[in-house]
Chain A
Amino acid sequence: MIKLSLLVIAFFISLTPALSQDHGDALVSASIADSRTLNPILASDTASSEVAGLIFNGLVKYDKEINLTPDLAESWEIKEGGLAIIFHLKKNVRWHDGYPFSAADVAFTYQKLIDPKVKTPYSGDFERVRSLEVIDDYTLKVVYKEPFVPALSSWGMSILPKHILEGQDLNTSSFSRNPVGTGPFKFKRWRSQEKIELVANPDYFQHRPNLDRYIFRVISDESTIFLELQAQGVDSAGLSPLQYLRQTDTAFFRRYYRKFKLSSFVYTYLAYNLRDEKFTDKRVRQALNYAVDKEELIKMVFLGLGQPITGPFYPESWAYNHNVKPINFDPDKARQLLKEAGWSDADGDGVLEKNGEKFIFTLITNQGNEERLKSAQIIQLRLKDVGVVMKIKVVEWSVFLSEYINKRKFEAVLLGWSLPREPDNYDIWHSSKTREGEFNFIGYRNDEVDRLLTEGRRVFDQARRKACYNRIHEILYDEQPYMFLYAPDSLFVIHSRFQGIKQEPIGIGYNLIDWWVPKKEQRYSRVTE
């Protein structure tokens, strides 16, 4: 019996590679916004990075288990107690124009990243580099001023071609609209506000992608995207919870699309301006946390498709502290804490006051985000129950950033952070990051958190880092500088003709080059001119 089963396994193993994965067809994905630039070191919006990510490679990338793995690098060594990284690069990698890739390209990219004239949002991580030395064509040594743990992941930054860009001004170069990379797809054409078309790179160093083309269609309205899905005009698109649960629960969608629900790397929070006297008392912030029912928010706003969070990491991260238990919704406890903090309703009008001043504040959020607006209205009602008046003000996004957030002209805001895999939260919580334009806009300051954030960047041992971040998580949940609300699930569909899609912790896009469509189901022919 044992023999037989072994045989069966062997049979399957030998069969798998023989199952031919047909080449051909195109994947058409819908995007709400057009890209701004396809130069990966200038791109700061998701619409741009998503496209650029298929054209370029970094030295390292995350594998499906969210561990760093070589990309353009063959391997790396960490030396001198974490101060230096030596990268050994892959040989025989070529740019899309046929020119060989080498260490000089990496050095060139680094120079551009730290060049103050280049308008890149990614310089921070690279300013900690003391020196970058090209040892030979395929070996590089990077030395840091001090141990810096996020260093390795920062080399996931896309590498630019020196032979094309040398001597050019990156901010104005036409390269941004006509990129040349090393990635699985080559840039073909870009029609502004219409579509960006990529074609398979036949010489990709892993192997040629099975799909011939990848097309990003710009459709600026969510409901129009949904109509396009119904016409099978797009193959993949994001969904709202309502679309996911009700509108796609039809025979048509079950037949032609596969629905996906992944945990996302985004969380939403209510942040207090800690310079405001109303919010300086920790008990007040804790009280407000007791007054708002996060489960109710998730149930009503996301129809249950999301999870409550207690700290600034996404729940699947190793840094997330699952020992921090969310408090229960408890308006009585909230009233009691507010009373302890000196707030009471002396004149009986249902609104608390302290020293003759009523507890009234304004929550600002950005225009065009229906989910945040709904959450704000629910929070408003719950706070009213405990005697706190919260007004809501919706502001257009660029005004929101420039007039309110950057100038610190707010009492409370409802916002979200989109998180990288690396848990380093220094820019958001460190007390040195409170200047205009920096991310600690609430003015949070805690010496222990400052120390732990610094330590978390310096020690390489993951267990020790975990201890740092878990402690930060505890402190932040206790101090409540933010009311941590929820992490909504990421919901989308992909046309069911695509084979080889696997759902892993990192998501599904990691093995895009292995996706394929059987010949007889292909919808787009190769010739399109």
Chain B
Amino acid sequence: MKNRALISGIVFIIALSCVAAFAPLLSPYDPAAINQDNLLSAPSSAHLLGTDSLGRDLLSRIIYGARISLSVGLVAVGIATLIGLSIGCLAGFYAGFLDMLLMRLVDVMLCFPTFYLILAVTAIAGPSVFNIMLIIGLTSWMGVARLVRAEILSLKEREFIQAATAIGATHFRIILRHLIPNALTPILVNATLGVSAAILIESGLSFLGLGVQPPTASWGNILIESKSTLGVAWWITVFPGLSILITILGFNIFAEGLKKEIG
């Protein structure tokens, strides 16, 4: 197999998942333990990535942060894909008035600047990991819906669908057994890209203080401090920033590889 992008993407995702899964074993310190004699100390052998302004070990916090990023990414995309898939299938398969209605709904949803919509909703609903997953999921299904609809529109004219209809298969069976499996490829690529988008949104929200709440560490809320400490403690800005960058890059490379492999 020559698909380097796919392989390196897979390796990266497996590695990140391991870090997230084994966080308690991998992190050298308790991520919430404060230490008043060790505020903002630079990277050293005791604290590989330094400490933050409450003396907490940055490496441990970043390792625990991977859990949040990964779970927010996966769950939010799961929700978005489920909604997008259902709406796309209904619109594509039944066409006509229902299609028109659902696609206008998609248009309306796309009109909102998503990030501000999410900000407003978290302000009212209150910030928590669960709310963030839900809100990101509920505001990012439109791309999937359009994609699925387009696939289904073309698939349902194909002969094997006509054959299925001819032998009397129910609509539900046709959609579930024949249409969705054949539309899966673009959905998968889209979902992978969606994971990195969701991770970015979570980081942004947490950076603004409206995302994951302390003491839970997330890459975004570690970065809150970077605004005021950049001049004296570069490590607080650089390491969480790099974690976000590498993760997004990893998922995007994986998506590229996937596209090449099956597309």
B150 interface contact, C-beta 8 A: no
In the bound complex, residues from chain A placing their C-beta under 8 Å from that of B2 are: none
- Name which of B73-81, B103-111, B119-127 contacts chain A: B119-127
Given contacts A370-B228, A377-B215, A378-B54, contact A300 B36 (CB under 8 A): yes
Cβ contact within 8 Å between B229 and A242? yes
Question: What is the 8 Å Cβ interface bit string for chain A, positions 187-201, against chain B (1 contact, 0 not)?
Answer: 000000000000000
Partner pick for B224 among A221, A300, A373, A392, CB 8 A cutoff? A373
| Cβ–Cβ contact B232 & A395, under 8 A | no
* B213, A242: Cβ atoms closer than 8 Å: no
Instruction: Verify B215–A394 contact, CB threshold 8 A.
Output: no
* Closest residue on chain B to residue A380 by CB atoms: B215
> B36 near A394 (CB under 8 angstroms)?
no
Q: A242-B228, A242-B229, A370-B225 are in contact. Are A392 and B213 (CB under 8 A)?
A: yes
Contact of A391 among B55, B213, B228 (CB under 8 A): B213
CB-defined contacts of B118 to chain A, threshold 8 Å: none
Q: Which B residues between 202 and 231 are near A, CB-CB below 8 angstroms?
A: 208-210, 213-215, 224-225, 227-231
Q: Which residues of B contact A376 (CB under 8 A)?
A: 214
Q: By the criterion CB–CB under 8 Å, are A299 and B36 in contact?
A: yes
Partner of A395, one of B36, B126, B225: B126
Check B231 against A226 for contact (C-beta < 8 Å): yes
CB distance from B244 to the nearest CB of A (A): 20
**Which residues of B (33-52) have their CB < 8 Å from a CB of A?**
33-34, 36, 39-40
- Is A111's CB within 8 Å of the partner chain B? no
Tell yes or no: A222 within 8 A of B by CB: yes
Interface check A381, CB cutoff 8 A = yes
Name the residue on B nearest A391 (C-beta).
B213
- Contacts A373-B209, A393-B213 given; indicate if A381 touches B124 (C-beta within 8 A): no
Question: Chain A's nearest CB lies how many Å from the CB of B187?
Answer: 35
In the complex, what distance in Å separates the CA atom of A395 from the CA atom of B209? 8
Inter-chain contact B123/A399, CB cutoff 8 Å:
yes
**Which residues on A sit within 8 Å (CB–CB) of B208?**
367
A380 to B124, CA, bound (A): 24
Contact with B along A347-389 (1 / 0, CB 8 A): 0000000000000000000011010011011101100000000
Q: Please name all residues of chain A whose beta carbon is closer than 8 Å to the beta carbon of B27 when the two chains form the complex.
A: none
Q: Is A296's CB within 8 Å of the partner chain B?
A: yes
How far apart sit A395 and B208, CA to CA, in the bound complex (Å)? Answer: 10
Residue among A367, A368, A370, A381 making CB contact with B34, cutoff 8 Å = A381
Are B54 and A242 in contact, with the CB atoms below 8 A?
no
| Smallest Cβ-Cβ distance to B39: which chain A residue | A300
Q: Report A-chain residues with C-beta under 8 Å of the C-beta of B36.
A: 296, 299-300
- Residues from chain A with a CB closer than 8 A to the CB of B86 are none
Q: What is the bound-complex CA distance between A247 and B228, given in angstroms?
A: 11
Q: Does B139 belong to the interface (CB within 8 Å)?
A: no
Question: Taking the complex as formed, is A240 at the interface, i.e. its CB lies under 8 A from any CB of chain B?
Answer: yes
Contacts of A255 in B (CB 8 A): none
Q: How far is the CB of B64 from chain A (nearest CB, A)?
A: 14
The one of A222, A242, A243, A296 that contacts B53, using a Cβ cutoff of 8 Å: A242
CB neighbours (8 Å) of A370 from chain B are: 224-225, 227-228
Is A240 within 8 A of B213, CB to CB? no
Q: Are A394 and B210 in contact (CB under 8 A)?
A: yes
Q: Are B227 and A378 in contact (CB under 8 A)?
A: no
Report the minimal beta-carbon distance from A391 to chain B, rounded to whole angstroms.
7
A331 to chain B, nearest CB (A): 15
Identify 11 new A-B residue pairs, CB closer than 8 A, beyond the known A246-B232, A399-B124.
A223-B230, A300-B55, A370-B228, A373-B224, A377-B214, A381-B32, A392-B215, A393-B213, A394-B210, A396-B123, A399-B123
Listed by A's residue number, 30 A-B pairs whose Cβ atoms lie within 8 Å are A221-B227, A222-B228, A223-B227, A223-B231, A242-B40, A242-B229, A243-B231, A247-B231, A247-B232, A299-B36, A300-B55, A303-B39, A367-B210, A373-B209, A373-B214, A374-B54, A378-B34, A378-B54, A380-B214, A380-B215, A381-B34, A391-B213, A392-B214, A392-B215, A393-B126, A394-B127, A394-B213, A395-B123, A395-B127, A399-B124
